[in-house]
Structure 1
Amino acid sequence: MSTTDISSLLTRAQEISADAERVTRAHLRKVTLPVAAGAPAQVLGLITLDNGEDHTKPNTFGPRSLLELNTAIDAALADDEITALGVTGKPFILAAGADLTSIAGGGPDAVRVVAELGHAVFRKLGDGGKPSFGFINGLALGGGLEVALHCDYRTVMDSAPALGLPEVMLGLVPGWGGAYLVPNLVGAENAVKLIIENPLNNGRTVSGKAAFKLGLADACFSGADFLEQSLLWAAPVLSGETTVERAEVDRGAAWDEAVARGRAIAEARTGGASPAAALAVDLIAAAKDRTRDEGFAAENDALEAMSRTPELLASLYAFDLVQKRAKRPAGAPDRTLARPVTKVGIVGAGLMASQLALLFVRRLEVPVVLNDLDQERVDKGVAYVHAEIDKLLAKGRIGQDKANRHKALVSGTVDKASEFADADFVIEAVFEDMGVKKSVFAEVEKVVSPDCILATNTSSLSITEMASELTHPERVVGFHFFNPVAVMPLLEIVRGEQTSDTALATAFATGKALKKTTILVQDSPSFIVNRLLGRFMSDVSRIVDEGTPVQVVDGAFAGVTPMSPFTLIALVGPAIALHNTETLAGAFPDRFYVSPALERVVAARKAAYFAPDGTLDPEVEALLEQPAEPVVLDAAEVRTRVLKGLADEARIMLDEGVVAAAEDLDLAMITGAGFSFWNGGLTMLLEREGLGKFH
């Protein structure tokens, strides 16, 4: 790109820069590298990206931030004393990519300008005439990874928690070099994993250590002195003492096979509903033969094209929910009402309870006591937590001191009175039966202090009824996690009719400390996610029972739901799916349907409808009785009918005041059920399909 072209881009970027942008500054300083006696001096111009915020607000790139970086790079290139460039970030964060909020407001023209500007600025690192290093010292997503990819060499911190190119999840494509540079650096197979497969798997990322193994970085270092080690490594690279060797990329049949796999993944996960996924595969395919200029130009065209799609608008809406609404839950009481939690009791020591214990001890770092009916169960629960902590230690995610401390904080007891008396927060995670849960709370209330909050992890039962026979029902609150607890971000906080603001505020404060996305829900059957999924599964089961083949129904929702309905049943278990439907049918018999076929599957103790090879289990097929006059729908008809049911249920839930607004339904389905960003969760999709107005 010519100097004139860059100057024009810089001018246009200044014109579209938004006041809302959280500007990431690029601080340039000179670092003298150690060299052998008599060797010429090596001075590295180190650019540190820092938006001046704490670790919860990572560096991002909007127009003004790109201008900042451009100025720093130009200054380093113009300084004759500087012999090489390096880019790193503030502690534990390189950058989280583009500032989507500040860019999208300008429409497709602004997206085009920022796409071209990002390429122009970043490629100065590789084309500026001086060797460059990307020191990936922590989180690096999207443009945050791409800025390092433009450097000649890269190091990465082994404990960096998240590296990746998540753009496809957002209805975009890697647009600052990633779609071209990654396949040409680490091969098409790894590019498909990073650009297609991981983003479509709920935005999965890779660790620093894994990124090094993939070939994204040339060296991997650990510890607080990561930058110092990286600089010491850079010195012999510059002097020629260390030669960086990279695996040769296979440009033969393996490339084409990887692209074919990428297309299959994109189609299976999106059903063609996300144009970004298909376009990203095209970019990887074409990167095999394109020049760098051609590859970058294609990325610019792709980003501009995606900026005109409804999927991007839905993605930006979803992104805003996760970034902003999730941090300020609608309807949450004044946080100053929250009581401190210095000890946690957990009733139950099964898998769910043990997962809760692990989460509480890791996030709150307070004593956590598991309780169950006999010592064997208690010991098994504590052993599970200790084993999981040992796994984290083995993976290098925590140190030995922290592992020892966390293990020491977890204990078990069969005697509630002896260990729960000084607990501030007790949560039950026992069998999903109202009688059992009432009995548990009655026992707990006798031994805890008057100020102790009682929380229930129920997925569907009434908080109000559960608390109705207690002396202090006002301290009972719903605290519903999703499985697996460590992975799923959502925590539904449910207010019973008598739940106090103090109990609610404590629940929200605790949820925040646990690093969960919290949403306030009014007490109603199955709350948000399980109610909507219950309606989904109810309508799906009815369609199957009426005569449409399971295979047709199961394949009708690619691009709508993160997994097919009968995969979902296998994940949660047919018995749990049946229980949820029974609860909802009991409350709303006019809308929810209990499938006789599902009852037979549960009675037969079948764990799934499909065999491991993807075919319908013959034993399950025998349980699916054909009606005398079957009604057979095609996939499109199945999809439309079920979406109409979801639109109906969503509208009823809003009218009932289950949540404050449609935004909470969408936030819940994104963070609790993995619904896609490009659909905007649920209600944006329903609006796009003409099935109602929710906003």
Structure 2
Amino acid sequence: MVPDNVVETASLTGPAVDARTSPGKSAQAYAAALLDTPQQWPAGAPGADPRPVRSVGVIGAGLMASQLALVFAKQLGVPVLITDLSQAKVDGALGWIAAHLEKLVSRGQLSETAARDLGSLVHGTVDKREYRDCDVVIEAVFEELAVKRAVFAEIEPLLRTDALLLTNTSSLSVTAMGHGLAHPERLVGLHFFNPVAVLPLVEIISTENNDDVSVATACSLARLLGKTAVLVKDTPGFVVNRILTRLFCELLQVIDDGTDIELADHALDPLGLPMTPLTLLGFIGPAVQLHICEAMHAAYPDRFYVSSSLAVIADARLRGYLANSGTVLPEAAALLPAADAGGSVPAPDTEAIRTGILDALAEEVGLMLAEKVVAGPAEVDLCMLLGANFPQHQGGLTPLLDKSGASRRVWGRDFHPGSGFAG
């Protein structure tokens, strides 16, 4: 969810003190320790022997699929097959890959020989029967459950029974995606972040249907790709999108209630996030974020709010709330009610907005840990550091929630008791 032009640069009642959060360790040192072994085997992953990966298939020929194909070829050095509904789309993906390789050569980041060798590993077709020789097949099609289920229903009969099926979904249920498959145990979520070659995080989404070998193969594949993998339980939004969407929902509800847009958007500035929430929303796109908010609201209606202002802006096909300058887009301001300066209820100040958002995030993290979505707070922080560029000096997210007092306000205790993060 973090754009490439900006990226260049266990449970709540678990163990009280982690080795990485020993008393007196700073949040920045904690984050550094988390990131010190970035390609370690994910916490909670099975110890089964993974299957070898000698060829990969990519379903789809859009930008994400093209990025995936190139990363697989470059990191694994194996043949990669791309398919789509039309040869024109397939040719478009191959053209993007060739152009990207040329760009790397022009920058001196790749030799002409290496670029030629990489390009020769990727080929495309509209004949999906060619997937029969692939060890791994990953879909990167439109983010709609019915579409993905239809794709897998078509592909599965063409594959070997030991081939691993992967979905790059960012928030949809992997379990639901596997309904109707002959072998749902081999369907695993492998959520890459955009841009694929830059962002190091991969969320590996396991389901109750998975066998250990399939999950172990997905974990091994992530490591071979040079990614840091976090094993995530199959729940709506997984980790990064669930947390970021809760943040968006809280902020947009404040705006819908009449608070000045720029004041609300800059309320989190003291936290040192890589950009303001509404700047990020502009990169994601209002329609995409509205779709995610609606999906999360359907799953958790008491905590995830669907913003009326976001719906209006998405319907008008605006780029977001903000212009490129960071000021409120005049077209957006014209569509939204003006802030009520003379209202009977005083508008919240930036501190109150910030406190409300941090408390909401503390609630969400605590619920995720209680649901065992991830092994512990460290995995939440890895996700937010590597998938959303949360600042290392804050330790990611959970040390920040402890330091701000949000953890204690919501849960009556810190996520890292005894660490000293809370001061």
TM-score in same-fold range (> 0.5): yes
SS at match of 1:327: coil
| Residue 215 of structure 2 is aligned to residue 504 of structure 1 | yes
Cα distance in structure 2, aligned partners of 1:456 and 1:631: 47
Aligned counterpart, 2:3: none
After TM superposition, list the pairs within 5 Å mapping 1:12-27 onto structure 2. none
> Cα distance, 1:431 vs. partner?
0.6
Q: Which amino acid aligns with 1:317?
A: Y
SS at match of 1:328: coil
> Cα distance, 1:356 vs. partner?
0.7
2:136 to 407, 410, 425: 425
Aligned counterpart, 1:466: 177
Q: Deviations over 1:340-392 (max 9, x none)?
A: 11111111100111111111111011111111110111100011111111111
Q: Which amino acid aligns with 1:389?
A: L
Asked which structure has the greater CA Rg, the reply is 1
After TM superposition, list the pairs within 5 Å mapping 1:313-352 onto structure 2. 313-324=26-37, 327-334=40-47, 337-352=49-64
SS at match of 2:393: coil
SS at match of 1:678: helix
Aligned counterpart, 1:645: 360
CA contact (8 A) 2:297 2:305 kept: yes
CA contact (8 A) 1:345 1:423 kept: yes
> Cα distance, 1:401 vs. partner?
2.0
Cα gap change, 1:410/1:203 in structure 2, threshold over 3 Å: closer, same or farther? Answer: closer
Cα distance in structure 1, aligned partners of 2:380 and 2:39: 12
Cα distance in structure 2, aligned partners of 1:469 and 1:660: 30
Q: Deviations over 1:240-262 (max 9, x none)?
A: xxxxxxxxxxxxxxxxxxxxxxx
Q: Deviations over 1:75-118 (max 9, x none)?
A: xxxxxxxxxxxxxxxxxxxxxxxxxxxxxxxxxxxxxxxxxxxx
After TM superposition, list the pairs within 5 Å mapping 1:167-186 onto structure 2. none
> Cα distance, 1:614 vs. partner?
2.7
CA contact (8 A) 1:581 1:594 kept: yes
1:609 to 314, 321, 327: 321
> Cα distance, 1:203 vs. partner?
8.5
Aligned counterpart, 2:246: 535
> Cα distance, 1:400 vs. partner?
2.1
Cα distance in structure 2, aligned partners of 1:317 and 1:415: 49
Cα distance in structure 2, aligned partners of 1:559 and 1:368: 45
2:73 to 334, 358, 361: 361
CA contact (8 A) 1:462 1:525 kept: yes
| Residue 165 of structure 2 is aligned to residue 454 of structure 1 | yes
Aligned counterpart, 2:411: none
CA contact (8 A) 1:326 1:667 kept: no
SS at match of 1:487: coil
Q: Deviations over 1:170-207 (max 9, x none)?
A: xxxxxxxxxxxxxxxxxxxxxxxxxxxxxxx7683xxx
After TM superposition, list the pairs within 5 Å mapping 1:292-307 onto structure 2. none
CA contact (8 A) 2:279 2:326 kept: no
Cα distance in structure 2, aligned partners of 1:587 and 1:516: 29
1:478 to 155, 172, 189: 189
Cα gap change, 1:499/1:631 in structure 2, threshold over 3 Å: closer, same or farther? Answer: farther
Cα distance in structure 2, aligned partners of 1:623 and 1:501: 52
Cα distance in structure 1, aligned partners of 2:311 and 2:143: 18
Cα distance in structure 1, aligned partners of 2:269 and 2:111: 42
Cα distance in structure 2, aligned partners of 1:434 and 1:202: 29
CA contact (8 A) 1:371 1:415 kept: yes
| Residue 235 of structure 2 is aligned to residue 520 of structure 1 | no
Q: Which amino acid aligns with 1:641?
A: G
Aligned counterpart, 2:421: none
Cα distance in structure 1, aligned partners of 2:188 and 2:404: 37
Cα distance in structure 2, aligned partners of 1:442 and 1:378: 21
> Cα distance, 1:627 vs. partner?
8.0
After TM superposition, list the pairs within 5 Å mapping 1:98-177 onto structure 2. none
CA contact (8 A) 2:38 2:228 kept: no
Normalising by the residue count of structure 1, what TM-score does the alignment of the two structures yield? 0.54
1:492 to 203, 208, 211: 203
> Cα distance, 1:616 vs. partner?
1.0
Indicate the RMSD between aligned Cα atoms, in angstroms: 1.6
Aligned counterpart, 2:301: 589
Aligned counterpart, 1:670: 385
Cα distance in structure 1, aligned partners of 2:135 and 2:154: 16
After TM superposition, list the pairs within 5 Å mapping 1:184-583 onto structure 2. 204=9, 313-324=26-37, 327-334=40-47, 337-417=49-129, 419-560=130-271, 561-583=273-295
Cα gap change, 1:202/1:687 in structure 2, threshold over 3 Å: closer, same or farther? Answer: farther
Normalising by the residue count of structure 2, what TM-score does the alignment of the two structures yield? 0.89
> Cα distance, 1:472 vs. partner?
0.2
Q: Gaps spanning 5+ residues in structure 2: where?
A: 1-5, 10-23, 408-413, 417-423
Cα distance in structure 2, aligned partners of 1:627 and 1:402: 57
> Cα distance, 1:623 vs. partner?
2.1
| Residue 406 of structure 2 is aligned to residue 691 of structure 1 | yes
Aligned counterpart, 1:286: none
SS at match of 1:421: helix
Q: Which amino acid aligns with 1:518?
A: A
Q: Deviations over 1:128-179 (max 9, x none)?
A: xxxxxxxxxxxxxxxxxxxxxxxxxxxxxxxxxxxxxxxxxxxxxxxxxxxx
CA contact (8 A) 2:39 2:223 kept: no
| Residue 332 of structure 2 is aligned to residue 620 of structure 1 | yes
The structure showing larger relative contact order (alpha-carbon pairs under 8 Å, at least 6 residues apart) is 2
CA contact (8 A) 2:41 2:219 kept: no
Cα distance in structure 2, aligned partners of 1:570 and 1:506: 36
Query: Aligned pairs, how many?
Result: 387
Q: Which amino acid aligns with 1:324?
A: T
SS at match of 2:248: helix
> Cα distance, 1:559 vs. partner?
4.0
Identity fraction in percent: 45
CA contact (8 A) 1:547 1:631 kept: no
Cα distance in structure 1, aligned partners of 2:290 and 2:30: 33
